Amino acid sequence: MRGYLLKRIPSALLVLLLASFLIFAILRLVPGDAAEVLAGPDAGPESVAAIRGQLGLDEPLLAQYASWIGDLVRGDLGPSYAIGGQVADLIGDGLGATAELTLGALFFTVTLGLLFGVLGAASRRRPVRVVVHALTTGALAVPPFVTGVLLVLVFAVGLSVLPSGGRVGLLEAPDLELQYLLLPSLCLALPSAAVLGRYLKDSLERAFAEDYIRTATAAGVPRRRLLWRHALPNALPPVVTLLGMQTGQLLGGAVLVEAIFAWPGLGQLAEQALNRRDYPVVQDLLLLLVAVFVLVQLLTDVVYAALDPRIRWE
Amino acid sequence: MTSSTPTTSPTPTASPSQDALLDVRGLSVDFGTPDGAAVHAVRDVGFTLRRGETLAVVGESGSGKSTTALALTRMLPDTGRITAGSVRLGDTELTGASEEELRAVRGARIGMIFQDPMTSLNPVLSIRTHLDEVLRAHGHGDRAARRARAEELLALVGIPDPRRRLDDHPHQFSGGQRQRVLIAMALANEPEVLVADEPTTALDATVQEQILGLLTRLNEETGTALVLITHNMGVVARTCARLLVMYGGTVVEDGPTAEVLTRPRHPYTAGLLAAVPRLSSPSGTRLAGIPGSPPDLSLPLTGCAFAARCASADERCGSEAPVLESPLLESPELESPLLEATSQAGHHVACWHPDTAASTVTSAAPPVRSRYRNPAELARREAELEVRLEVEGEPGDQLPADDAPLLETSALRKEFRGRGRVGRRNRLVAVDDVSLRLHQGETLGLVGESGSGKSTLARLLAHAHQADGGTIRLRGQDVTRPSRTALRTLRRQVQMVFQDPYASLNPRMTVGDIVGEPLLVHGLHPDRAAREARVAELLELVGLDPAAVDRLPRAFSGGQRQRIGIARALAPEPSLLICDEPVSALDVSVQAQIVNLLSDLQRDLGLALLFIAHDLAVVRQVSHRIAVMHRGRIVESGPVDEVCESPRHPYTQKLLSAVPDPVPASALGVPAA
Amino acid sequence: MTTLSFVRARKPGPGAARNPHQPYRKALATTRGRIGLALALLVTLAGLLAPLLSSHVPTAQSGEALLAPGSPGHLLGTDDLGRDLLSRVLYGIRTDLEVIALAVPLGALLGCAFALLAAVHPVLDTVVQRVFDLVLAFPGLILALAITAVLGPGRLPVVVVIALAEIPVFGRQLRAGILVQREREYAVAARVGGTGRARLLLRHILPNCADPLVVQLAVSLTVAVFLEGAMSFLGVGIRPPEPTLGNMLSQALPYLAQAPHFAAGPLLVVTLLVLGFSLLSEALNREIRR
């Protein structure tokens, strides 16, 4: 297990390093640099050049990159150019909101996914399987922005039972926050839950076709126990890998869901920062998201290894 | 056919005797196919099993033997359905039982073990959990009691240090040990019947020997009746007192093992016995295959299932299904307790011409294969044969030993590194210091168990892998690390036939393209018409209809596919043909056809043949010389008859003694086990 | 000699001598496949025939009928600027399909090219794998935002984002397929028979990896519809007045309560199109795995 981790960590770090290069490069390709934005449309070339010098944008690219990474390592994210305030504060605020949303969605993804998968593969009632199948097909066929719009239409506009958007903060008013969180996280979770459910169903069906299930059946193990004790532990490891990938999808989807439900998260911040060409915010934000994704992948692998004794024992 | 009702269907015993434990009558099973057609896998099968009895069910693939085993406790896959018949276990009727009733029978009154121990244990559960699950499913005591019982069971099946091994996972056990664990699971609740479906097929001969010994011992000690499903006549002779032969989903013959194996009454049984290669038969013995292939089970059966392949079949055989009855009785009406007693101890056969069977065999098989009654006669015949061989001589024997070999390897070595784990580097030396020589026109047999490195050696010689050390010389030239151009010419000379006839042909290419590929890439017949003519010629050479060129491999049976593989290998006119387990995936009757084809081709084309197999009996019959491989090394080599009769290395001796011969112990004057 | 008598191939019974393309035909013959194909074709045709089917110029505004419900003059009604919704939906489909038809095959081809490249040498394989990891590490829509920042809004960033997102998807799938097929005995047999590397890869191995890629293609079409929609929705894709299904939905969102018909048209079409593609992929997948 330790050896396994030792092997995975360098490749994760490598991806992170490459991503930082890429992020840096992309943002240098954007037409019009931060100095022009900061100086405003009426500023003359001298003042732009002055600001450029202030920000260090006239230094060689490699030096700029080095100072960015150097500051990051020291924990100094610096001030935001355009939005105002410290980058660390902006990202910190957004991170809280997005984490809340993503974790909420993860909760729905896992519970609904398990429900769909287990019922779809093991229910003895055909109608149940058909309904589960229809639900997953539906959740996959309707794009999240449409689901979001529909959810708002039904629960906020039609029934008026839930707010149509916004956030109050979990610490300020937990019960109210849950109401605000419900629709966005469900909207974000539905496609992932459907994918997970489908995959778990396939995985369970494959496990049920294995020889060891025949062995257990021949030993008289009851059907319910076959599912939970014999088939599921074998079906889960690949599902965990998929869940890791889906967490990445959730992070990406959050941008969209945040826009629909006016959720003040990282997605909103990213959109705002990109529109105003606020380099420091965008750079740090992108790298943070990539880092989270890479970390999730690493965690996934650890969980996978813990679930499979063949890896655990090596 | 399934039309007959259970009441009128014939069963081996006219009246179920008092001590009948398992009574199967008129059992028929259909499988649905995606096309909506039905495959009649089992048709009207009946037998009884007494307490403590050992019964073998023998047949080739598609005979319905495994389906019968699964149908006993209704463990058929979703597409399978019992269409008729009854299965009575004591007083319980199992075909109509509820799921809960069946569950109470499975693992408690009927234990089952299956073919592949590598996949039959759950990889994420410990051995203790495996045993615990079986015990708990049938309410065996509390946690501590189950724990103690689990340990006791592991000890019973001969796993050393059971207390410590209980918490291990399946991947920490060898194949043979896993099968022992499965047997422990099957016996956990002291069942009345143990159904073993091909329990040793996936295992090496030496391990097979141990597992069969264990099954026999447990049968004697615990009194559990044993139903052993197998395709291996040797296993039957070794283990079971009674024998049931199945073909095309029907029972064709049934009786005491010694009786059926020595005096088969059904032409199929006789043919099957004749096709089994025997270790006692010397080099050069021809096998007698059964021509044709098994029946299409999706078609309704009229008459005898074997009629299409039977030499003595007449019109009646094709139209009217024969009834399973005692061969001495003229008609079933006359059956009475008295006659039953006088008939040959419950020997039954489903054939209209039971008396021709014996003669059919004798005429089909070469003289040496005729039934021998005692070891003395056997020895005498062998001695005669050896003399004959020395006088007449076989191609390989005539070659002077100092003649330059076609292929020569010295100190060949190949290792595989464990998949990049940091820290402990574990290396597997697959081929270690192997030196061998092969002459033109000679067949070298290479024997070894799984993991002995024989397949790796084959791939080294065929340049599919690169050797890590040592040299390979072809016609005296060093070809260990050939250049690109040298490799091209080399590939023309060295060709290979693979084990799995299903995996070794590209499913997307037609037979013509597959066989024509080597011609094309070597630029042998640049002209399309010439190439096509050559492909047709090759197909004819291996006994296939040249009209098959436009077909895809899936239209062919296993034996036919293996012929396609051989045609492909022969296409560039190689001088060395490497056959890696060419017949181990085939049924016995088909195996004989392919073995004979290979020896004919070897002789007619003057090929040097490297014949790799785990089955010593087959190797002995096709080879001139033999090399025994063990843990990557060649431990013994020499003229095949010499090695087989007086092996020097202990491993060879062990290997030889583990091969089960299809001659019942009783027929050799020793009491049956 | 009995062994040299001709052995005839089995009669081509039902399904015995299936040619390799039959699973596709069979998949399209299932209920699922038929409905999927019908839906996809219906929406596609509507888009292709947009100039013939629509009665108005999709960008033409009329001052008097704002957010009007369906009427004989405007079958689906009008939007907030008085534009005919039916015409906008039809042209919206057209725009979507044009973008997707370019982007998905592009991404698929590039992904497959990378996978083939990876099969050439272990070092290349490592490089290609890290490239895939890198692309996958960026959450899709964040990548879309960044790319649009560089390229500016319009069709180009949409095509680039969709293609980029598909590269690792197809690449990994094909790479995994090649790794499995390369060790199969038929591939070893071809190698031993003298077949060269390139021929082995392209003629023997690639055709045997094709089935899952075809399924993936159908799946990717749905993903592409989503991505285009999401990008337009966020305002970083194709911008109004040019209609796309996504930006129409985005525009309709504020008017949900007062004019639900505004969102209904694009919503229905997107759902039908995606449903069609996913039913198709499901039908193909079932038949291929059989």
Q: What are the pLDDT digits (tens) for C84-97? A: 888 889 999 999 99
Do the chains contact at A157 and C256, CB–CB below 8 Å? yes
- Tokens, residue B463: 């340049």
**Does a structural domain hold residue A1?**
no
Domains contained in chain B, number = 3
* Segment among A29-38, A126-135, C129-138 with least mean pLDDT: A29-38
Q: What is the arithmetic mean of pLDDT over B322-347?
A: 56
Identify whether the C-beta of residue A142 lies closer than 8 Å to the C-beta of residue A154: no
Q: Band the pLDDT of B291: cuts 50, 70, 90.
A: confident
Q: Do residue A220 and residue A275 come from a single domain?
A: yes
Q: Do residue A191 and residue A106 come from a single domain?
A: yes
In one-letter notation, the amino acid at residue B641 is D
DSSP assigned state of B129: H
Of the candidates C122, C236, C216, C97, the one whose C-alpha atom is nearest the C-alpha of residue C165 is C216
Instruction: Find the domain containing A209 and state its range.
Output: 92-307
Q: Do residue B118 and residue B144 come from a single domain?
A: yes
Cα–Cα dist B327/B311, whole Å: 19
Report the gap between the CA of A63 and the closest CA in chain C (Å).
Answer: 22
Does the pLDDT of residue A31 top 80, yes or no?
no
Does the pLDDT of residue B365 top 50, yes or no?
no
Q: What backbone phi and psi angles, to 5 degrees, belong to B612?
A: -105, 130
Per-residue confidence (pLDDT) for residue B94, from 0 to 100: 92
Q: Do residue B362 and residue B421 come from a single domain?
A: no
Residue B345: CA atoms inside 13 Å, Cβ hemisphere, count?
10
Q: Do residue A108 and residue A231 come from a single domain?
A: yes
Report the SS3 class of residue A302.
Answer: helix
Does the pLDDT of residue B670 top 80, yes or no?
no
Q: Do residue B142 and residue B259 come from a single domain?
A: no
Contacts of C260 in chain A (CB under 8 A): 153
pLDDT top residue among B97 and B315: B97
Q: Do residue A186 and residue A103 come from a single domain?
A: yes
Per-residue confidence (pLDDT) for residue B103, from 0 to 100: 93
Q: Band the pLDDT of B460: cuts 50, 70, 90.
A: very high
Q: What is the CATH number of the domain that holds B628?
A: 3.40.50.300
Per-residue confidence (pLDDT) for residue C25, from 0 to 100: 83
Which residue in B120, B122, B138 is closest to A234 by CB distance?
B122
Of the candidates B268, B270, B256, the one whose C-alpha atom is nearest the C-alpha of residue B12 is B256
Do the chains contact at C139 and A255, CB–CB below 8 Å? yes
Indicate the pairing of strand B250-256 with strand B348-349. Answer: antiparallel
Q: Do residue B452 and residue B486 come from a single domain?
A: yes
Q: Do residue B85 and residue B187 come from a single domain?
A: yes
Q: Do residue B225 and residue B92 come from a single domain?
A: yes
* Segment among A76-80, B195-199, B544-548 with least mean pLDDT: A76-80
Cα–Cα dist B589/B294, whole Å: 10
Per-residue confidence (pLDDT) for residue B562, from 0 to 100: 93
* Segment among A245-259, B270-284, B380-394, C97-111 with least mean pLDDT: B380-394
Contacts of C256 in chain A (CB under 8 A): 149, 152-153, 157
Identify whether the C-beta of residue B519 lies closer than 8 Å to the C-beta of residue B600: no
Residue B365: CA atoms inside 13 Å, Cβ hemisphere, count?
26
Report the gap between the CA of A2 and the closest CA in chain B (Å).
Answer: 9
**Does a structural domain hold residue B604?**
yes
Query: Which DSSP helix (H) or strand (E) runs through B444?
Result: strand B443-447
Task: Please list, residue by residue across B553-587, b when 16 or more beta carbons sit within 10 angstroms of its beta carbon and e when fewer do.
Answer: bbbbbbbbbbbbbbbbbbbbbbbbbbbbbbbebbb
Do the chains contact at C270 and A290, CB–CB below 8 Å? no
Does the pLDDT of residue B359 top 90, yes or no?
no
**Does a structural domain hold residue A182?**
yes
Q: Do residue A191 and residue A44 come from a single domain?
A: no
Q: Do residue A140 and residue A242 come from a single domain?
A: yes
Q: What is the CATH number of the domain that holds A150?
A: 1.10.3720.10
Do the chains contact at B296 and C12, CB–CB below 8 Å? no
State which of A38-42, A153-157, B176-180 shows the largest mean pLDDT: B176-180
Residues 6+ apart with CB under 8 A from B477: none
Report the SS3 class of residue B64.
Answer: coil
Q: Do residue A37 and residue A121 come from a single domain?
A: no
Q: Do residue B421 and residue B470 come from a single domain?
A: yes
Per-residue confidence (pLDDT) for residue C15, from 0 to 100: 38
Of the candidates B383, B374, B321, the one whose C-alpha atom is nearest the C-alpha of residue B352 is B321
Cα–Cα dist C116/C104, whole Å: 18
Tens-digit pLDDT profile for residues A184-199:
999 999 989 999 998 9
Q: Is C43 on the interface with A (CB under 8 A)?
A: no
**Does a structural domain hold residue A7?**
no
Count how many pairs of residues, chain A against chain B, have C-beta atoms within 8 Å: 95
DSSP string for residues in chain C: -GGGS-BPPPP--TTTT--TTHHHHHHHHSHHHHHHHHHHHHHHHHHHTHHHH-SS-TT---SS-SS----SSSTT-B-TT--BHHHHHHHHHHHHHHHHHHHHHHHHHHHHHHHHHHTT-HHHHHHHHHHHHHHHHS-HHHHHHHHHHHH-SSHHHHHHHHHHHHHHHHHHHHHHHHHHHHHSHHHHHHHHTT--HHHIIIIIIHHHHHHHHHHHHHHHHHHHHHHHHHHHHHTSSSPTTS--HHHHHHHHGGGTTT-HHHHHHHHHHHHHHHHHHHHHHHHHHHHHH-
Do the chains contact at C3 and B571, CB–CB below 8 Å? no
Identify whether the C-beta of residue B249 lies closer than 8 Å to the C-beta of residue B305: yes
Q: Do residue A187 and residue A54 come from a single domain?
A: no
Do the chains contact at B522 and C188, CB–CB below 8 Å? no
Chain A contact partners (≥3 CB pairs within 8 A) = B, C
Domains contained in chain A, number = 2
**Does a structural domain hold residue B461?**
yes
Q: Do residue B267 and residue B221 come from a single domain?
A: no
Does the pLDDT of residue B249 top 70, yes or no?
yes
Mutate to test the interface with A, among B100, B103, B106, B133 (most CBs of A within 10 A): B133
Per-residue confidence (pLDDT) for residue B277, from 0 to 100: 85
Q: Is C133 on the interface with A (CB under 8 A)?
A: yes
C65-72 LR contacts (CB < 8 Å, sep 24+):
C67/C255, C67/C258, C67/C259, C67/C262, C69/C259, C69/C261, C70/C261
* Torsion sign (Cα): C247, C251, C252, C257: positive
Report the gap between the CA of C137 and the closest CA in chain A (Å).
Answer: 5
Report the gap between the CA of A28 and the closest CA in chain B (Å).
Answer: 39
Tens-digit pLDDT profile for residues B483-538:
888 888 889 999 999 988 888 999 889 999 999 999 999 888 888 899 999 999 99
**Does a structural domain hold residue B577?**
yes
Share of chain B above pLDDT 90, in %: 39
Which residue in A215, A307, A310 is closest to B121 by CB distance?
A215
Q: Is B196 on the interface with A (CB under 8 A)?
A: no
pLDDT top residue among C38 and A124: C38
Between the two ends of chain A, the Cα-to-Cα distance in Å is 7
* Segment among B118-127, B282-291, B462-471, C63-72 with least mean pLDDT: C63-72
Q: Do residue A166 and residue A226 come from a single domain?
A: yes
What is the residue whose two structure tokens read 């697959």?
B430
Cα–Cα dist C208/C202, whole Å: 10
Which residue in B123, B138, B421 is closest to A314 by CB distance?
B421
Length of chain A: 314
Cα–Cα dist B416/B397, whole Å: 37
Instruction: Find the domain containing B476 and state its range.
Output: 407-657
Per-residue confidence (pLDDT) for residue B425, from 0 to 100: 52
**Does a structural domain hold residue A181?**
yes
Q: Do residue B468 and residue B612 come from a single domain?
A: yes
Evaluate whether ipTM surpasses 0.85: no
What is the residue whose two structure tokens read 């109210």?
A176
Do the chains contact at A141 and C271, CB–CB below 8 Å? yes
Burial of A275 (0-12, 13-18, 19+ CB in 10 A): middle
For residue B154, count other CB atoms closer than 10 A to its CB. Answer: 23
Identify the structural domains of chain C with CATH numbers, from first to last.
22-51+77-289 (1.10.3720.10)
Does the pLDDT of residue A250 top 50, yes or no?
yes
Cα–Cα dist A30/B263, whole Å: 91
Cα–Cα dist B426/B418, whole Å: 5
Per-residue confidence (pLDDT) for residue B360, from 0 to 100: 44
Tens-digit pLDDT profile for residues A265-305:
888 888 888 877 787 788 888 888 888 888 888 888 888 87
Q: Do residue A161 and residue A245 come from a single domain?
A: yes
Helices (H), B29-126: 65-72, 99-105
Cα–Cα dist C28/B34, whole Å: 15
Which residue in B106, B116, B420 is closest to A218 by CB distance?
B106
Q: Do residue B476 and residue B615 come from a single domain?
A: yes
Per-residue confidence (pLDDT) for residue C160, from 0 to 100: 93
Report the gap between the CA of C220 and the closest CA in chain A (Å).
Answer: 12
**Does a structural domain hold residue B606?**
yes
In one-letter notation, the amino acid at residue B84 is A
**Does a structural domain hold residue B225?**
yes
What is the residue whose two structure tokens read 């080294």?
B460
Residues 6+ apart with CB under 8 A from B294: B60, B61, B62, B63, B247, B248, B587
pLDDT top residue among A85 and C132: C132
Report the gap between the CA of A207 and the closest CA in chain B (Å).
Answer: 10
**Does a structural domain hold residue A53?**
yes
**Does a structural domain hold residue B435?**
yes
Report the gap between the CA of B103 and the closest CA in chain A (Å).
Answer: 5
Of the candidates B386, B385, B310, B277, the one whose C-alpha atom is nearest the C-alpha of residue B663 is B277
Per-residue confidence (pLDDT) for residue B182, from 0 to 100: 95
- pTM for this entry: 0.82
Per-residue confidence (pLDDT) for residue B60, from 0 to 100: 86
* Segment among B115-119, B560-564, C140-144 with least mean pLDDT: C140-144
Per-residue confidence (pLDDT) for residue B664, from 0 to 100: 57
Q: Do residue B199 and residue B254 come from a single domain?
A: no
Identify whether the C-beta of residue B236 lies closer than 8 Å to the C-beta of residue B658: no
Identify whether the C-beta of residue C138 lies closer than 8 Å to the C-beta of residue A289: yes
Per-residue confidence (pLDDT) for residue B668, from 0 to 100: 44
**Does a structural domain hold residue B293?**
no
Per-residue confidence (pLDDT) for residue B128, from 0 to 100: 93
Q: Is B171 on the interface with A (CB under 8 A)?
A: yes
pLDDT top residue among A41 and B625: B625
DSSP assigned state of A296: H
Q: Do residue A68 and residue A116 come from a single domain?
A: no
Which residue in B504, B518, B544 is closest to C185 by CB distance?
B504
Q: Do residue A118 and residue A147 come from a single domain?
A: yes
